Amino acid sequence: MTIPETEIHTPAWVHDAVFYQIFPDRFAKSDTIEKPAHLEPWDSDPTDHGYKGGDLVGVIERLDYLVDLGVTALYFNPIFQSAANHRYHTHDYYQVDPLLGGNDAFDRMLAACHDRGLKVVLDGVFNHASRGFFQFNDILENGAASPWLDWFQFYEHPANAYDHSRPPGYRAWVGLHALPAFNTDDPQVREYIMRIGEHWVRKGIDGWRLDVPFEIRTPGFWAEFRQRIRAINPDAYIVGEIWGDAREWLQGDQFDATMNYQFTGAALAFAGRHRVDEASVAGRDYEPYPGIGGHTYRERIDRLIAFYPWPIQLAQLNLLDSHDTSRALSVLGGDVRSLELASLLLFTYPGAPSIYAGSEIGVDGALPSDRWARRTFPWDQPERWNRELHGLTASLIALRKAHPALRTGAYDSIVATDDSYVFLRRSDGTRLLVALNSGDAPETVEVPLGGKLGPVDRATTLCSVGEASETSVGDDLLTLSLPARSGVVLDLTGPA
């Protein structure tokens, strides 16, 4: 199905949003929520299976921090009842996990967020459930006699659910015994998932982030999901976890956007250059390694901008890291300046920037084990906070909020060199020029005036990373003297 671009509608609030991704077990823990005894100490190293005890009331207690940072929307990793600290192994889609405070804590948290103007997007894990999911567990108990047999695809009875030396006796996500895949071709399963989506939107959530949605190939499934969700809330946001080319899903009839890992890889590669750590990105399909120069960055970004209709671009969920990647700081070899340059790219790019909780203060952690990317937020360890990085993040958010051109303005690549890249954001007579030199030596870049830049009287610095750049405005050229590993946002003024 092809929908004309003029008829593609993505939620306007997303175009202006700044997201903050929260991994609930690791963000904040409230002393008011009763917990079992066997939790790991909050500040200890994370493990694959241990729980730290973060909860939704802890989120409420930290909302002032998020609002002060400038965040306007929260994306939560799964919150439903599960036997895994990441909660991608869902037991009950209608119950918030008791370790998070249960449904009551969710209701309180959602109301507190909305009172502060914060949107809330939940993680929808609809491709697979868990061994503890009631219908699947019934099949394990009763075999071929179970009335729920058609909800999954079994190869044998009794099914092998726990012996990892042999494949599972059923279709499972990437062959993991713990994650039996739904049979979404079954009408009852399809309806069950649709009703879950509707239930939480009726409860007041503002959208769904869909986990591995490309695995569900049932014809018309995601188009129906969109129709039913939007019938309840026409402004609900639907964003899919698709790491590569997502044009199949981004034509206006299924998802509003994806987690924009193609931007992630390009931004980290350009900002980090030779500092990008190969081992930290092994096995992840977003290509931040090897580092790239300005010409290649321009090519990758121009291709990405051309992929999708503009309303989709404005809704893309742009990020530098997530629970599924190494922390950006670790990918960049621990180099804070590289992360600052990548952040400048993030907050000046079309779409909604997303911060993975803790990355704004320099929390690190690298693959191959996911647990290192899922450290707790060090609330009580101020010595671990990078205050300058936090301040820059807040400043970039404020800059984005102050200038509509950075949120919804047109995007034009202007100049690229081996080390530098210059682009323009423009709307309603406002022209903001962003220039980055990620090389190890200073560079002078000449920007031809006229065309989309128009005439320029002067260039005013709005924000900078690294040493201050110098600008010189001539009749036909804007000359930028960019120090090594620096970036700048310039407001170009002059006749319209």
Q: Annotated catalytic sites, by residue?
A: 211, 241
Task: Yes or no: say if 78 and 87 are a contact pair by the CB < 8 Å rule.
Answer: yes
* Cβ-Cβ contacts under 8 Å for 44 (sequence gap 6 or more): none
* CA–CA gap between residue 330 and residue 362 (Å, rounded): 9
Q: Tokens 């996911």: give the residue.
A: 370
Q: DSSP alpha helices (H): ranges in 220-371?
A: 221-232, 261-272, 294-307, 310-313, 328-331, 336-347
Provide the 3-class DSSP secondary structure of residue 288.
coil
Cβ neighbours, 10 Å, residue 306: 8
Count of positions (residues) in the chain: 496
Whether the CB-CB separation of 239 and 319 falls below 8 Å is answered with no
Buried b (16+ CB within 10 A) or exposed e, 423-461: bbbbeeeebbbbbbbbbeeebebebebeeebeebeebee
Q: How many CB atoms lie within 10 A of CB 308?
A: 24
* Residue 152 DSSP one-character state: S
CB-based contact 343:396 (threshold 8 Å): yes
Distances (CA, A) of 251 to 7, 19, 215, 457: 10, 23, 18, 41
Instruction: Identify whether the C-beta of residue 19 lies closer than 8 Å to the C-beta of residue 353.
Output: yes
